[in-house]
A and B are shown apart, each in its own frame.
Chain A
Amino acid sequence: MPPLARRLTRRLALTLFVLWGAATFAFAGMRLVPGDPARVIAGGVQANATPQVLDAIRDEYGLREPIVVQYARFLGRLLRADLGGSYQLGRPVSRVIGEQIGATLALAAGAAALGFGLAVALATLTAGRPRLRALSRAVEFCSISTPNFWIGILLLAAFSFHLGWFPVIGDDGPAALVLPCAALALPIAGVLAQVTREGLERALDQPFALTARARGATEHRIRVRHALRHAALPVLTLSGWVLGELLAGTVVVETVFARQGLGHVVVAAVRGRDFPVVTGVVVLSALVFSLINIAVDLLYGLADPRIGAAA
């Protein structure tokens, strides 16, 4: 399908542009804050590195060159997918990220699935039913307005310390994933449930829902087979926001539950001004964002055939 191919090409070009922008911002950000990168590499500001050692580091990392040359080099390496080596950890950034990304992905994917699932279930059960809806709304507002870390602490207190159902900290096994996922998913689920319910109620008000009723369809069937798909469109629009929430939330949740993961790595890297690691994570996030957006774009066409026809 040529129009689809054209759209994809345009999207991919846009992705490259976004990646370049993200990398440039990361580069600029790390260079503009005061401080000497050579000292960081030598072990931080506190470490008493001799001027000779610092000089050697400057030569090795090319820190003496004009900033433009450094920038060009940086981009050149990025083009070869070489993220460089971590200043602090002394290992290639790609390996650092590779080791940690699994845990974070599991957490984010689990939370996303839980968030969407909860939202759809809540919305389907409560749409157009005033009493249930009022109850559900109250719960949703609570979960939206409570920060992740506080939800995490409450969950820990209840289910780990008090009931002892789940491990307190650590990341061994799926059981350890339950509470962190929940802490991350609940605020998202609150927002998504409201949007989904609104979409459902709008769809249930439309003539086609009445037609389906007139065919003898059950209320459940009308919601699941007809209305839910209509509600999917506004929810899809929010997926960018969901991803942002997930990324920001993992940092907090990984800290609260003392889990391995990229969130941890990023916090340490920013604090220690570990420039290559920060850049690597920023570029990776931008890439994930772009790819998810492309996927969502394609999903739109699947969810609503009218959009595919118009594009």
Chain B
Amino acid sequence: MSGDHPSAPLLEVAGLSVAFATRHGVVRAVRDVDLSLRAGECLAVVGESGSGKSVTARALLGLAGAGARVTARTLAFEGRDLRTLGGGQWRRLRGRRIGYVLQDALTSLDPLRRVGLEVAEALEVHGLARRDDLDDQVIRLLTEVGVPDPRVRFLQYPHELSGGLRQRALIASAIAAGPALLVADEPTTALDVTVQAQVLGLLEERRRRGTALLLISHDLAVVARLADQVAVMFAGEVVERGPAAALLSSPAHPYTADLLAAVPGLDDPDAPDATDGPEAPHGPDASDARGGPGGPGGPVRGLPIVRTGPAATTGCPYAPRCALADDRCRSEPPPPVSYGEGGPEGEDHMVRCFHPGRERPAAAFETPVAPVRVKNRAVVSVRGITKRYRSPDGSRRTAVGDVSFDLRAGEALGLVGESGSGKSTTARIVLAEIVPDTGTVLLDGEPWSGLRERDRRSRRSRIQLVDQDPLSSFDPRFTVERVVGEAVPGRMPRRRRRERAAALLGQVGLDPALLDRVPARLSGGQRQRVAIARALAPGPEVLVCDEPVSALDVTVQAQILALLARLRREAGVALLFISHDLGVVRQVCDRVAVMKDGRLVETGAVADVFRAPRAAYTAELLAAVPRIDPGRTAGERPHAAVTLEGHP
């Protein structure tokens, strides 16, 4: 196989473009993309959603879709020109030589077929197993990807598996026929950090055994650990491509730099060489972060606010968001140029930018100016709350068990844990949406939970919720004006209400011109800002934020986090900030409470908990967070042991 010639690329792509004919004209989803990947290497394709990553991946399998027009100067795999393949030839390639792991494991496995059948499909299709041997092979594959009890899982349906196991099964189905290249599209996006780390470990293991990896992600930190080469995509173009070490340590394109800055890191930004590895997951000087210039929790590394104007059509596509954009950027597209000295083996470091590697002006960043004053008065006191649910099989499950904490006025308290650990149930008890079985919640020292709703109504405005996709519950015909305006308390004429709504939009950094739009026509970041404006309308003391940035791309995520930090400062609201993402909590919060299986395992100041976690579980979570260590080179990457879910 082609692994014998390390210098000959396994996959070579030049000038790849994909256009879709739609009702609104031609969408040029991918433009002039060059990629190359050698056997056994890992190429990471990174970019925000909609940047064309998935379309690129599908084009490599000849699956760009019915309405797609794919063109390329070179499109070669294992020395064959893919542009000339017929239908049958493509089919013999797919699954057999190139495996593909689709974006969402829940919908990418046929929900009506047993997991074993799905894993077996590639073997069957390519005639790689005899009937009587098929089951054994599938069980072997499931074992190989670390699925516990493969004989049981084999007969189950995808919905009966956890997210992590589904992803493993999907990977097993993609590697069943032993392909030379595995394309994995956002393989960890929907997973908790610890599971995410396991799946990455699994992919790393595949690569170690010689499978080349094309790893797609919107999160630079996720791929940093595995990638030999990184290609950064924006608006359908590869804007920067080069050896991972060079690209991560000295990003040439402003978008790459923005992506790197937006990674919610665990380490102090002034200590980029923080030691890596599971036993020392935190920088030695992380403790200084509290006193640092950024105030509690370290500086918020924000980004310039997205302008809502039309995208540049003639010049550089990044110009509308670029802090370095000048007239030339806006009028002509930057051609690809070489940058720096490239990689150790002479790999090219390419960038499409007129000002590669230039410092970005700091003025464009939304950074906190003064530390937030936290008063010693508790606005919310949670005292020993417990909530149990009956599971379908009749047993009782403790969703929240004996949880107590205080949220002080103006404070930001993070509540972290994996999905199912009881974070959201706790939030809904704090919001008095559900009643705890035992324990109480006090608001401003007065009873809150366990009252009749009538007795709570007058104080409802003091505590507001912002959740993951908060506008989805509104009638799609409602305009932003209505969504925000109707949360403004009191009676007033329509014009006054509109003015208040406009002022609230201004407060969250949105153009008041958006008042007449419907939420469906807004971007994810804009929707989240509208939701925050709505939550601020009654002038609350407490904002409960339940995974407020989990559905957003990292760059947008950073903007929303910066906004929350600013609101805390300006409006003095306290935040109960729920997230499964430790990096995010680290950015926003003063204190953190870690939940596992419904219980608090650790509470403390963010700096202390992140520097010296007391609970073993916290240490485990911290170790699992993907991080960028630009100092390391591909050769000396430590091969982390693969931890297997459910294994002793």
Contacts and interface: CB of A to CB of B under 8 A. Distances in A.
Interface in A29-74: none
Contacts of B419: none
B121 A214 contact: no
Contacts of A218: 91, 125
Contacts of A306: 111, 157, 159
A141 interface: no
B254 interface: no
Interface string A110-131: 0000000000000000001000
Given A210-B63, A211-B102, A216 B125 contact: yes
A210 B109 CA distance: 10
Contacts of A128: 66
A213 interface: yes
B110 A214 contact: no
A167 B315 CA distance: 77
B110 A226 contact: yes
Contacts of B110: 208, 211-212, 226
Given A206-B107, A207-B108, A304-B112, A215 B159 contact: no
Given A210-B102, A309-B160, A215 B111 contact: no
B159 A309 contact: yes
A303 B109 CA distance: 16
Nearest to B107: A207
A223 interface: no
Given A216-B92, A230-B112, A211 B159 contact: no
Interface in B45-98: 58, 61, 63, 66, 91-96, 98
Given A207-B102, A306-B157, A309-B160, A216 B109 contact: no
Main secondary structure on A side of the interface with B:
helix
Nearest to A230: B112
Contacts of A309: 159-160, 392
Contacts, number: 83
B182 to A, nearest CB: 11
Chain A, interface size category, equals 20 to 34
B126 interface: yes
A217 B96 CA distance: 11
A217 B92 CA distance: 9
A213 B121 CA distance: 10
A213 B94 contact: yes
A211 B63 contact: no
A149 B58 CA distance: 52
B111 A208 contact: yes
A253 to B, nearest CB: 36
Contact of B109 (A208, A214, A229, A304): A208
A305 B92 CA distance: 32
Interface in A258-311: 303-306, 309
A156 B94 CA distance: 51
Interface in A226-243: 226, 229-230
A305 B91 CA distance: 30
A7 interface: no
A202 interface: no
Contacts of A226: 110, 112-113
B173 interface: yes
A218 B96 CA distance: 13
Given A230-B112, A309-B160, A215 B122 contact: yes
B231 interface: no
Contacts of B112: 226, 229-230, 303-305
B589 interface: no
Interface string B152-176: 0000010110000000001001101
B96 A216 contact: yes
B104 interface: yes
Contacts of A215: 94-95, 121-122, 125, 173-174, 176-177
A221 interface: yes
A207 to B, nearest CB: 4
A117 B66 CA distance: 28
Nearest to A306: B159
Interface string A138-175: 00000000000000000000000000000000000000
Contacts of B126: 216
B63 to A, nearest CB: 6
Contacts of B61: 213-214
B94 A211 contact: no
Interface in B319-335: none
A206 B94 CA distance: 18
A218 B174 CA distance: 16
A230 B113 CA distance: 10
Nearest to A219: B87
Contacts of A229: 112-113
B507 interface: no
Contact of B103 (A207, A225, A303): A207
B282 to A, nearest CB: 38
Contacts of A221: 125
B100 interface: yes
B227 to A, nearest CB: 22
Interface in B263-292: none
A306 B95 CA distance: 28
Contacts of B108: 207-208, 210-211
A303 B111 CA distance: 11
Contacts of B66: 128
Contacts of A211: 100, 102, 108-110, 170, 173
Given A207-B107, A211-B108, A309-B159, A217 B100 contact: no
A304 B159 CA distance: 11
B111 A216 contact: no
Q: What 4 pairs between A and B have smallest CB-CB spacing?
A: A214-B100, A216-B95, A215-B95, A216-B94
5 contacts: A214-B63, A216-B91, A216-B126, A218-B125, A225-B113
Given A208-B110, A225-B113, 4 more contacts: A211-B109, A214-B95, A217-B95, A217-B125
